[in-house]
Structure 1
Amino acid sequence: MSSLALLPWLLILPLAAACLTGLLPLRATQISSLLVILSQALASLLLLLWMPSDEPLFYSLGSWGAPLGIVLRLDGLAAAFLMMTSLIASLCGLYALSYLRPSQQPGFWPLFWFLWAALNGIWLAGDLFNLYVGLELLSLAAVGLVALGGEASRVKAALRYLFAALLGSLGYLLGVSLLYGAHGTLDLELLAEVFHWGPLSALALALILAGLALKTAFFPLHTWLPPAHAGALTPVSALLSALVIKASFYIALRLWVELEMPERSLEVAQLLGLLGAGALFWGGWMALQQVKLKQVVAYSTVAQLGYLLLIFPLLSSSSSEASHLASQGGWLMLLSHALAKAGMFLAAGNLILCAGRSELSALAGLSRYRPMNIFAFGLAAVSLMGLPPSGGFSAKWLMLQSALISGQWWWILVILLGSLLSAAYLFRVFSHTYLETQDSVQFGQPSLMLELCALTLAALSILLGFFAPWPLAWFALPGPFTEALG
């Protein structure tokens, strides 16, 4: 089977699984989900290995052009993110099998598979309309997962998330409509060829980027994120932070580069960088104030998203070398953050299971009695702080070089101060685990599956630093993004 023939199955299998798992009994649902997880992981790996080095691949699911037809586009960037999704979603799915109660699993699996199908559709979409379809399916599945369990706090957080997602979708769709009216195409490659600047195009892109910023929860549009991520069930929190919010950022950055916005929007790029600095400091400060573990990790997500916003001013440099380093560092940061944050949320869920409560004060003594869970949390923290030899360090090192070459020294200070603030709120968690406690305190013991899933993801965020040349080579394969950067 060729790599081209594998592409539609990345959408068909999870969509079929979403339908079947809503109808099958629980045991059959679990077995079928395991089989589809294995098939998705294998297909993603084969696509990555068989990805041609000379040109991207295109697969048409319809004989019409956008918005009626569906054209899938596979380049090195998309292949890397398909593999990232397979790794994280597979381990979160395995975690859910052991973590969720039997009463929660029938609601989880259909939404899980719709979410995975939407993510694959976004990585592969070649036009703006099908990106919108993927975003909508992703948002609805994510909102449903947040509400899973039916507790009042989760339903409230899910409704806030839903309103933010719908408002973001409205902005995106209005912008897409204006672009279609002005240029007559929604195909990304054709749009890049015929795109011309003007008041209508500027308004359209402003609406699109504002909608995507709301869906990504960029500062100061982040208020829906902490209650949704902290209040959701642990495997859901990991999926949201590691994958869901990355999809809208992926679209925003591809549009920014492929429509050559870095050359025309220097002021906007600097403004986005300032918002990134605000996210780093505000999110870090709020993480320092939290008394519950998952809330610390949720506000950490707000802060860490600030690094992604710093990519925009670094890409807008007049130096091609600086822009190239910013691109490499940005995509590597996204991969590293996804792995580390998924591992950290799963490790946090394990620590809460051990302590029986979510307050930081309940973690006293866990470093002695449950060291494996602390170790997993610590590995993820190393990457988020950007310490060597983690993937987070490699990404920040590339971004620091870009800032230095482009002469934007102020972003160097922001990155370094953000790392120090990350260390402050993460070491605060560790300080509680090393406090002595009474010997009579009894801690729970998560299953080996729960511990291994968290540890594997956290370890991968470290190993990414050792094997960074591999994803950087995939990012450099021919495609619209790399061609736009020259």
Structure 2
Amino acid sequence: MMTEAYVLALLPFLAAVGAAATPRMAAIWGLCATLINLGASILLAARILSGGDMRADLGDWPAPLGISLVADGLAAVMLSMTAIVATAVALQAMSWGLVQPRGGQQRSRLQAGFWPLWLATLGALNALFLSGDLFNIYVTFEILGLSAVGLTALTGSRNSLRAAFDYLAAGLAGSLVFLLGVALAYAAVGRVDLAAVPALVDTATGRLALGLIFAGLAVKAALFPLHFWMPAAHSSAAPAASAVLSALVVKGALYLALRITIEAGAGIEVLRIALAVLGAAGMLWGSWMALRAERLKLLVAYSTVAQIGLITLAIGVADDPSTSAMWQAAALLMLSHALAKAAMFLAVGRIAEELGHDRISGLNRTDLRPGVAEFAFAIAAVSLIGLPPTAGFIGKWLLIDGLIDRGAWVWIALLLGGTALSAAYLSRVVSRCLRGGPHVAPGARRPEWRTGDVAALGLATTALALGLGSALPLTLLNGTAL
């Protein structure tokens, strides 16, 4: 019996109800639930490491009639990733609030609204990673999408409300296409559990169903050229909400795309090629737009478009998972991106609070010395670029090594080009974040220390150290059923 899985799937939703019912205790509900969620994810990963994959049929009704929770190495990595980022976001939101407030009343209102939405998002992500069939995954996507729209609109500004509307419209369109694919999958094989995915490639209706499912996932993941809603949503939300949206919410669609390619094996070569091409285009386009961005949050948002393209490219170029381990590079890149991007958005919020703006050209203030947030941003940038010894480097190394064995030099050149562009746009900020010498006046003050700075620095350091400890997630991934 997977007690940990039940806790992960149910506790955040129960805590969300408690936080909504008692707004004054919302932060306590959120922090306690997040810490318990972290412990449950660690215990579940330990059980999978020692005993292998686990499965639980709710009510003892097996698929295709019942609802099944399935936990293997890939799910454990995604759940642990979510729990680590969730803990950091909760600590950050507890320590200094979501935005630079105009008054204590606004701070209280934002925090009270943040916690129920955040806990619902956490519960939806956990349920998505544990779900064993496509229809239940559709349900979790709906909860996840509505919660994410609420987080986007939380500040109540005109830009955030407009971005939230675009997010809602895109999410509904993606959901409808995804649901149509699930319906066609049921028509083709009479079931919708993930174990039936291999059978879908044998019929024309099944292949059409898979195509529609991937199209819906492309919208939800903001894959180029369907990314139109994402930069505005991520850049206009509050810092803690932006960290959640960029680091975790888009991972749900990327995870399912990877899961389906694992289940389908070699039978979806056309879809793999399409993913690789769109991923490469998104990586280059997102990097170019980030290079041109004038504001820090917009740069980080377009960086997410580029990183989503990189991960999608990794999913697309991976060989048949039963004969190749290249898919593990995509999983490791997802893990690295979640940690580094959450750290980056939290750091950006702190930098904007210190400076009073997020204009990249105005980061060189002579009366302010670099602080913890600037240092955290620089470390996270190292991981996103993919420099050693970060997990981003390990993921890119595994990917390029597999491509070298295949002689796929075009893909290698694109990866290296994307890496060079990411170094170019991130160095625009890092060079200013770590400013010194004549750029700083002798009597310049240091930013006030906040407990929440630990969250950004902790996530960035974890992303850096994960490269040295990558054996653990790779061991979990090696145990994933193929």
What is the TM-score normalised by the length of structure 1?
A: 0.92
CA pair 393-451 structure 1, distance change in 2 beyond 3 A: same
Q: Map of 1:190-269 to 2, 5 A cutoff?
A: 191-192=196-197, 194-260=199-265, 263-269=266-272
- Matching residue of 2:19: 21
The Cα shift of 1:313 comes to 3.8
- Matching residue of 2:422: 422
Q: Is the 8 A contact 1:347 1:454 kept in 2?
A: yes
Q: Is the 8 A contact 1:390 1:463 kept in 2?
A: yes
The Cα shift of 1:46 comes to 1.1
> Are 1:117 and 2:123 matched, yes or no?
yes
- Matching residue of 2:282: 279
Distance in 2 (CA, whole Å) between partners of 1:392 and 1:184 is: 40
Distance in 2 (CA, whole Å) between partners of 1:72 and 1:366 is: 55
- Matching residue of 2:402: 402
- Structure 1: which 5+ runs fail to align? none
Distance in 2 (CA, whole Å) between partners of 1:278 and 1:171 is: 22
1:58 aligns to what SS in structure 2? Answer: strand
Deviates further, 290-299 or 5-14: 5-14
Distance in 2 (CA, whole Å) between partners of 1:351 and 1:450 is: 12
Q: Is the 8 A contact 1:350 1:446 kept in 2?
A: no
- Matching residue of 1:468: 470
Distance in 1 (CA, whole Å) between partners of 2:155 and 2:63 is: 38
Q: Deviations over 1:336-368 (max 9, x none)?
A: 011011111111111111111111122113796
Give the counterpart of 2:315 among 312, 317, 322.
312
Q: Deviations over 1:261-320 (max 9, x none)?
A: xx2333432232222221121111100111110000000011111111222342236993
Q: Is the 8 A contact 1:175 1:203 kept in 2?
A: yes
The Cα shift of 1:195 comes to 3.8
Q: What code does the residue aligned with 2:269 have?
A: L
CA pair 157-203 structure 1, distance change in 2 beyond 3 A: same
> Are 1:177 and 2:183 matched, yes or no?
yes
Q: Map of 1:158-169 to 2, 5 A cutoff?
A: 158-169=164-175
Q: Is the 8 A contact 1:350 1:450 kept in 2?
A: no
1:453 aligns to what SS in structure 2? Answer: helix
What is the TM-score normalised by the length of structure 2?
A: 0.93
- Matching residue of 2:142: 136
- Matching residue of 1:383: 383
The Cα shift of 1:67 comes to 7.3
- Matching residue of 1:332: 332
Distance in 1 (CA, whole Å) between partners of 2:277 and 2:22 is: 50
- Matching residue of 1:458: 460
- Matching residue of 2:479: 477
Distance in 1 (CA, whole Å) between partners of 2:234 and 2:218 is: 17
Q: What code does the residue aligned with 1:146 have?
A: T
1:8 aligns to what SS in structure 2? Answer: helix
The Cα shift of 1:21 comes to 0.4
2:70 aligns to what SS in structure 1? Answer: strand
Q: Is the 8 A contact 2:380 2:463 kept in 1?
A: yes
- Matching residue of 2:103: none
1:377 aligns to what SS in structure 2? Answer: helix
CA pair 383-197 structure 1, distance change in 2 beyond 3 A: same
CA pair 15-440 structure 1, distance change in 2 beyond 3 A: same
Q: What code does the residue aligned with 1:351 have?
A: I
Q: Is the 8 A contact 1:217 1:224 kept in 2?
A: yes
- Structure 2: which 5+ runs fail to align? 99-106
Q: Is the 8 A contact 1:161 1:225 kept in 2?
A: yes
Matched residue count? 471
Q: What code does the residue aligned with 2:14 have?
A: A
Q: Deviations over 1:129-186 (max 9, x none)?
A: 1101111100000000000021111000000000000000001100000000111111
Distance in 1 (CA, whole Å) between partners of 2:242 and 2:443 is: 28
The Cα shift of 1:446 comes to 5.2
Q: What code does the residue aligned with 2:476 have?
A: W
1:62 aligns to what SS in structure 2? Answer: helix
Distance in 1 (CA, whole Å) between partners of 2:184 and 2:20 is: 38
- Matching residue of 2:291: 288
CA pair 444-204 structure 1, distance change in 2 beyond 3 A: farther
- Matching residue of 1:350: 350
CA pair 443-23 structure 1, distance change in 2 beyond 3 A: farther
> Are 1:5 and 2:3 matched, yes or no?
yes
The Cα shift of 1:99 comes to 2.1
Q: Is the 8 A contact 2:58 2:67 kept in 1?
A: yes
Q: Is the 8 A contact 1:386 1:393 kept in 2?
A: yes
The Cα shift of 1:421 comes to 0.4
Q: What code does the residue aligned with 2:268 have?
A: S
1:197 aligns to what SS in structure 2? Answer: coil
1:449 aligns to what SS in structure 2? Answer: coil
- Matching residue of 2:27: 30
CA pair 441-106 structure 1, distance change in 2 beyond 3 A: farther
The Cα shift of 1:60 comes to 2.0
Q: Is the 8 A contact 1:354 1:443 kept in 2?
A: no
- Matching residue of 1:154: 160
Task: Work out the percentage of aligned pairs sharing the same amino acid.
Answer: 42
Q: Deviations over 1:250-270 (max 9, x none)?
A: 11111122022xx23334322
Distance in 2 (CA, whole Å) between partners of 1:431 and 1:130 is: 46
Q: What code does the residue aligned with 1:113 have?
A: L
Q: Deviations over 1:359-384 (max 9, x none)?
A: 11221137961332221101000011
2:276 aligns to what SS in structure 1? Answer: helix
Distance in 1 (CA, whole Å) between partners of 2:165 and 2:116 is: 20
